[in-house]
Structure 1
Amino acid sequence: MKVSTVRTYALSLHEATEAPHFTYQSFRVRDKIFVTVPPGEETIHIVLPEAQREQALALHPQFIEKLVWGKSATGVRVTLARAEAAVVKALILAGWQNKAPKALRDAHSR
């Protein structure tokens, strides 16, 4: 999977935008980050709640690892070269849903 595919999908979600975040690129919904892309574009970081993070880690350890930011686990790191596109898209959507306001989530599901 390539970052261009991640970008296309992330930006297809309601009100998603792309902006720099220090040395990373980020995808946001109403200024809340749901995906970051580190320099080199070999991995992406998806911000997820604990239950979804743990499920992704259990089901796809071949390309997903826990993302720790400071002292907290905040999501998952996905190695794009080994990733399954459908899984990555589902996780990006879950990250977006976690950050988007309810009204926006409802509008997206219509």
Structure 2
Amino acid sequence: MTVDVDAAAAAALALPGVTEADHHGRRSFRVGGGKVLATVPADGVLNVLVGEDLAHAVSAQPGVELLWWGQKLSGVRVELALVDAALLDELLQDAWARRAPAALRRPEP
């Protein structure tokens, strides 16, 4: 099942400590003092700031392409209508784990 921007936003906001904020006139999802984990650059698209290994691993999937900031790989660009919810959740979890403060990443006792 594919997802839309509202479903992607709900998935991001379901992660501990994630908030939504403006990012140069666009929606973004942040954790830990404002660290960006994903942005919405256009309708139906989500940029997710995953690690290089995961970015390369999923870049052959339909609807996913590498996202570059200059010469630096910064994550993946996701065409939401072409990906399923499970893949999007994996991407958001990775981005969250890379940016969330240690206190949020620790399992509850």
Same fold (TM over 0.5): yes
- Counterpart residue type for residue 37 of structure 1: V
Query: Larger helix proportion, structure 1 or 2?
Result: 1
Which structure 2 segments of 5+ residues have no match? none
Paired position in structure 1 for 2:98: 98
Runs of 4+ off more than 2 Å: none
**What is the deviation of 1:104?**
0.9
Query: Kindly, what percent of the aligned residue pairs are identical?
Result: 35
CA RMSD, Structure 1 to Structure 2 (Å): 1.4
1:79-94 alignment to 2 at 5 Å? Answer: 79-94=79-94
**1:1-110 matched pairs, under 5 angstroms:** 1-30=3-32, 31-39=34-42, 41-58=43-60, 60=61, 62-107=62-107
CA contact (8 A) 1:23 1:38 kept: no
Instruction: Compute the displacement of 1:70 (Å).
Output: 2.1
* CA offsets 1:13-63 (integer angstroms, 9 cap, x no match): 111000010032100002100000013x221000011111111114x1x11
Gapped regions of structure 1 (runs ≥ 5): none
- Give SS of 2:56's match: helix
Task: State the distance in 2 between where 1:25 and 1:71 align.
Answer: 24
Report Cα offsets for 1:65-92 as digits up to 9, x if no partner.
0001122110000001111111011111
Give aligned pairs, total.
Answer: 106
